[in-house]
């Protein structure tokens, strides 16, 4: 219905109504979310918001037609999507603050004059690259990654906070490490290729 992980309804009317609801709301809400977060994140948020509304109608049937129920829940749907985006933004601020705090506050002249200036520049470049890699993780995966790797929370704490199992936390961490490593490797390869081109 919504995606391959969505529960299937026994009510074909609800399935049809949900498709109509998505057709009516997707373009506008996706445009709003893309002004708040990355496009990939916006699409994931939208999927999650649709799923929450779908489950709400599925679990609370009444005499109204499914499409009427969904239309009445439209303000709630918009609120859910907005709150999910805000949660991602807040986590992103935590990541940014962590890495900004780790960068030396020396100005450019002091940095170049220091004995370890080259090492410092490399370190800053690596931190910026890692931050960018974390930024590109899927929303839930990034939340788990930040909570564990930056805020040093336990698997059980993260699971309780996000309403998932510790096994799911482990899976997200493994996925996050792989995606970050691949992102960094590709970025470094692109940088090396540019250096070779410029040196020729």
Find the mean pLDDT for residues 146-167: 85
Average pLDDT of the residues of the chain:
76
Q: Tens digit of pLDDT for each residue in 1-57?
A: 454 344 444 578 888 999 999 999 999 999 988 888 877 788 888 888 898 888 888
Helix, strand, coil shares, percent, the chain, to 5: 80, 0, 20
pTM recorded for the entire structure: 0.47
User: Could you give the domains of the chain?
Assistant: 12-86 (1.10.1740), 108-199 (1.10.10.10)
Q: Tens digit of pLDDT for each residue in 97-123?
A: 555 554 444 444 444 444 444 454 455
**Model confidence at 139: pLDDT above 80:** yes
- 4-8, 20-24, 68-72, 74-78: which has the minimum mean pLDDT? 4-8
- Residue where the block lists tokens 């529960």: 7
Distance of alpha carbon 61 from alpha carbon 175, whole angstroms: 37
Distance of alpha carbon 143 from alpha carbon 164, whole angstroms: 12
Phi-psi region of 106 (alpha: psi -120 to 50; beta: other; left: phi over 0): beta
Q: Identify which of 180, 162, 159, 161 has the alpha carbon closest to the alpha carbon of residue 170.
A: 159
Find the mean pLDDT for residues 182-195: 78
């Amino acid at each position: 219905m919504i995606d391959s992980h969505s529960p299937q309804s026994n009510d074909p009317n609800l399935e049809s109504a949900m498709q109509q609801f998505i057709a009516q709301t997707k373009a506008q809400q996706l445009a709003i979310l893309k002004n708040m977060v990355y496009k990939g994140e916006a699409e994931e948020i939208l999927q999650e918001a649709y799923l929450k509304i779908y489950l709400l109608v599925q679990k609370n049937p009444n005499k109204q037609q499914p499409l009427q129920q969904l239309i009445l829940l439209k303000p709630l749907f918009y609120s859910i999507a907005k709150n999910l985006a805000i949660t991602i933004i807040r986590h992103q601020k935590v990541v940014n603050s962590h890495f900004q705090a780790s960068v030396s506050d020396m100005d450019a002249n002091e940095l170049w004059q220091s004995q370890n200036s080259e090492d410092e520049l490399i370190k800053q470049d690596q931190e910026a690259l890692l931050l960018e890699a974390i930024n590109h993780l899927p929303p839930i995966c990034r939340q788990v990654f930040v909570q564990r790797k930056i805020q040093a929370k336990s698997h059980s704490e993260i699971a309780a906070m996000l309403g998932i199992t510790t096994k799911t936390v482990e899976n997200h961490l493994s996925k996050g490490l792989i995606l970050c490593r691949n992102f960094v490797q590709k970025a470094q390869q692109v940088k090396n290729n540019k250096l070779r081109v410029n040196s020729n």
